[in-house]
């Protein structure tokens, strides 16, 4: 079975382009250059003299070098990417095509509203779709990511209380929360008060009641939470929070589990962000642009960032007239082309299609959970939605940890799942398959996980040194973070020659 495993993408040994080619090779033949260095067309001061070591490669060498480099990584387009909490789903190409349409891609953000009616109409329509999906009244597309949506929401809550002459200092945050939640809260000057999620993995109303008071501005709940579990007491918790005049913020990063099934505005949430780059199919993970639109109930509408995109009959406007607005949170109108992708995705699927996305995401996660629960310890038995969390407890006796399991998965050709998160689970290994994976892909992944569980029992050293088949094997992650090598050093220099 070992002959079959391995990862071509991560095993490429590609030299630097400086090490390729030969003197005199070039990739393009110019019949006649318009400007030639010897002719005096270019002033001497603008000419580089130190061209030593400049790569001289043929066209095929150039193309192969960059194509190979482009494969020198792992991506959703090359394989299964079960990273929990991230919704690494396949992104249909039609969304890219729509975002590439010249009218969208080349639109200048300083154009007056009269010249960009199409773009404004698209944003207005997307806002209405997101309001419908979340059960909220109003939406801003400005925030550039989920964390930015959280910050925007917290700023609006702060503005709401200031406006009423109230000061509140606390925000409740469950212990399963993503780290961005307490960070957003702290950036707005609130202190984050942790709420324990209890042995069943979800919040108990009593625990919230005990902490909720009139100095608490809000509770921030991720639903389903980062254990993949639905917060089933959300409506009662919302009542308890509202009783003391607080807001219920929903971190909607896990919306992929519940589209068309639960509308958070209907069950007591007052505002929530969505991660378009997770749920609504924008490629992400490389630090590229995302979008974290924020949907709110009417009571918070006066504090929305400007400009609002409004509509009067058949005209779309950029409306800056909102005296209580928190102002702008992002240049121009947010990451517009991410919004185009999301709108294309929503239109392609329609309401029933979105619901099917969530149903299949939940089905896939539960399939993996069932198939793996014998080999891997499940810390929480409560039923899960779109992702499930295992631990390394059954492998501990062999000296094998979650890190070793994750690293060994690289040898089997998979991107490792999320590990050691959520923090409340010791040795967590979190898998989110998403709806875009086929039964065959899931079965192959299950086979790999079973094989690794067997290896843990029979040859644990193999796992402790994994990955063994990739070009880069086990790295010292602490040294890599503390003493990064950021510059290419000629090998001879390293060898002291």
Ligand X SMILES: *Cc1c(COP(=O)(O)O)cnc(C)c1O
Backbone angle region of 42, left / alpha / beta, with phi > 0 → left and psi within -120 to 50 → alpha: beta
Residue 226 in the binding site for ligand X (CB under 6 A): yes
Token pair belonging to 320: 């800056």
Nearer to ligand X, 21 or 174 (CB): 174
The answer to whether 256 touches 278, Cβ cutoff 8 Å, is: yes
Nearer to ligand X, 251 or 375 (CB): 251
Kindly state the smallest distance separating residue 307's Cβ from ligand X, in Å: 23
Taking CB under 6 A as the criterion, the residue among 95, 127, 140, 222 binding ligand X is 222
Nearer to ligand X, 276 or 456 (CB): 276
CA end-to-end span of the chain: 43
Segment interacting with ligand X, rule: CB under 6 A, options 56-64, 249-257, 261-269, 458-466: 249-257
Q: How far apart are CA 111 and CA 66, in angstroms?
A: 37
Compose the 34-73 pattern: x for residues touching ligand X by CB under 6 A, - for all others: ----------------------------------------
Q: Are strands 315-319 and 308-312 parallel, antiparallel or unpaired?
A: antiparallel
Residue 72: phi and psi, rounded to 5, are: -85, 45
Kindly state the smallest distance separating residue 250's Cβ from ligand X, in Å: 10
Kindly state the smallest distance separating residue 471's Cβ from ligand X, in Å: 28
Sequence-distant (≥ 6) Cβ neighbours of residue 68 within 8 angstroms: 12, 14
Residue 275 in the binding site for ligand X (CB under 6 A): yes
Segment interacting with ligand X, rule: CB under 6 A, options 231-239, 247-255, 261-269, 320-328: 247-255
Nearer to ligand X, 150 or 375 (CB): 150
Residue 253 in the binding site for ligand X (CB under 6 A): yes
Kindly state the smallest distance separating residue 291's Cβ from ligand X, in Å: 8
Sequence-distant (≥ 6) Cβ neighbours of residue 74 within 8 angstroms: 7, 9, 10, 81, 415
Q: Are strands 308-312 and 170-174 parallel, antiparallel or unpaired?
A: unpaired
Taking CB under 6 A as the criterion, the residue among 138, 178, 297, 341 binding ligand X is 178
Provide the 8-state DSSP code for 138.
E
Kindly state the smallest distance separating residue 424's Cβ from ligand X, in Å: 14
Token pair belonging to 29: 């033949």
Residue 418: phi and psi, rounded to 5, are: -70, 135
Nearer to ligand X, 181 or 470 (CB): 181
The CB-nearest residue to ligand X is 146
Compose the 285-324 pattern: x for residues touching ligand X by CB under 6 A, - for all others: -----x-x--------------------------------
Nearer to ligand X, 208 or 227 (CB): 227
Kindly state the smallest distance separating residue 281's Cβ from ligand X, in Å: 14
Residue 271: phi and psi, rounded to 5, are: -160, 150
Nearer to ligand X, 65 or 148 (CB): 148
The answer to whether 172 touches 290, Cβ cutoff 8 Å, is: no
Segment interacting with ligand X, rule: CB under 6 A, options 22-30, 100-108, 246-254, 485-493: 246-254
Beta-bridge partner residues of 308: 319
Nearer to ligand X, 254 or 281 (CB): 254
Token pair belonging to 455: 């290896």
Residue 408 in the binding site for ligand X (CB under 6 A): no
Provide the 8-state DSSP code for 129.
H
Token pair belonging to 384: 């899960």
Taking CB under 6 A as the criterion, the residue among 180, 197, 279, 402 binding ligand X is 180
Site for ligand X in 315-374 (CB under 6 A): none
Q: How far apart are CA 408 and CA 410, in angstroms?
A: 5
Q: Is 139 helix (H, G, I), strand (E, B) or coil?
A: strand
**SS percent in the chain: helix, strand, coil, step 5:** 40, 10, 45
Kindly state the smallest distance separating residue 251's Cβ from ligand X, in Å: 5
Nearer to ligand X, 21 or 283 (CB): 283
Rg over alpha carbons for the chain, rounded to the nearest Å, is 26
Classify residue 67 by burial, with Cβ atoms within 10 Å: 0-12, 13-18, 19+.
exposed
Nearer to ligand X, 176 or 470 (CB): 176
Total interface residues for ligand X by CB under 6 A = 14
Residue 306: phi and psi, rounded to 5, are: -100, 155
Site for ligand X in 132-151 (CB under 6 A): 145-147
Nearer to ligand X, 88 or 99 (CB): 88
Nearer to ligand X, 197 or 254 (CB): 254
Kindly state the smallest distance separating residue 263's Cβ from ligand X, in Å: 19
Query: Which of 159, 182, 160, 156 minimizes the C-alpha distance to 171?
Result: 182
Per CB under 6 A, residues contacting ligand X are 85, 145-147, 178, 180, 222, 226, 251, 253-254, 275, 290, 292
């Amino acid at each position: 079975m070992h002959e079959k495993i391995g990862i071509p993408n991560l095993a490429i040994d590609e030299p630097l382009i400086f090490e390729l080619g030969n003197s005199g090779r070039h990739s393009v033949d110019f019949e006649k250059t318009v400007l030639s260095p010897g002719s005096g067309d270019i002033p001497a001061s603008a000419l580089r003299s130190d061209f030593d070591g400049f790569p001289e490669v043929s066209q095929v060498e150039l193309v192969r070098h960059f194509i190979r480099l482009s494969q020198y990584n792992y991506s959703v387009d090359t394989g299964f990417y079960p990273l929990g909490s991230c919704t690494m789903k396949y992104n249909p190409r039609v969304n890219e095509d729509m975002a590439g349409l010249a009218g969208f891609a080349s639109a200048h953000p300083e154009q007056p509203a009269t010249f960009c009616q199409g773009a404004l109409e698209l944003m207005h329509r997307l806002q209405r779709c997101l309001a419908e999906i979340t059960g909220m009244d109003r939406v801003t597309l400005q925030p550039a990511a989920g964390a930015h949506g959280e910050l925007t929401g917290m700023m609006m809550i702060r503005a709401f209380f200031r406006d009423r002459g109230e000061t509140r200092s606390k925000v409740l945050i469950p212990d399963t929360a993503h780290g961005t939640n307490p960070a957003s809260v702290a950036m707005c000057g609130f202190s984050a008060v942790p709420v324990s999620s209890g042995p069943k993995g979800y919040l108990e109303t009593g625990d919230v009641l005990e902490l909720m008071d009139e100095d608490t501005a809000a509770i921030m709940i991720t639903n389903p939470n980062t254990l993949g579990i639905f917060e089933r007491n959300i409506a009662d918790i919302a009542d308890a929070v509202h009783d003391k005049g607080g807001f219920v913020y929903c971190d909607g990063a896990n919306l992929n589990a519940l589209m068309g099934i639960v509308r958070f505005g209907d069950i007591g949430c007052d505002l929530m962000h969505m991660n378009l780059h997770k749920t609504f199919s924008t490629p992400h993970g490389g630090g590229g642009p995302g979008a974290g639109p924020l949907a709110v109930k009417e009571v918070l509408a006066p504090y929305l960032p400007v400009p609002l995109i409004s509509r009067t009959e058949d005209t779309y406007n950029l409306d800056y007239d909102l005296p209580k607005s928190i102002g702008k949170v992002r240049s121009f109108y947010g990451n517009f082309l991410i919004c185009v992708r999301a709108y294309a995705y929503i239109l392609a699927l329609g309401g029933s299609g979105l619901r099917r996305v969530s149903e299949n995401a939940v089905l896939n996660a539960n399939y993996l959970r069932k198939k793996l629960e014998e080999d891997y310890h499940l810390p929480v038995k409560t039923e899960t939605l779109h992702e499930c969390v295992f631990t390394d407890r059954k492998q501990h006796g062999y000296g094998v940890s979650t890190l070793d399991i994750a690293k060994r998965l690289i040898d089997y050709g998979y991107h490792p799942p999320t590990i050691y998160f959520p923090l409340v689970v010791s040795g967590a290994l979190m898998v989110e398959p998403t709806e875009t994976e086929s039964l065959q892909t899931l079965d192959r992944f299950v086979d790999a996980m079973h094989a690794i569980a067997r290896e843990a029992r029979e040859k644990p050293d193999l796992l402790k040194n994994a990955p063994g088949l990739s070009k880069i094997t086990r790295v010292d992650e602490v040294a890599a973070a503390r003493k990064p090598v950021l510059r290419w050093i000629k090998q001879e220099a390293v060898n002291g020659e």
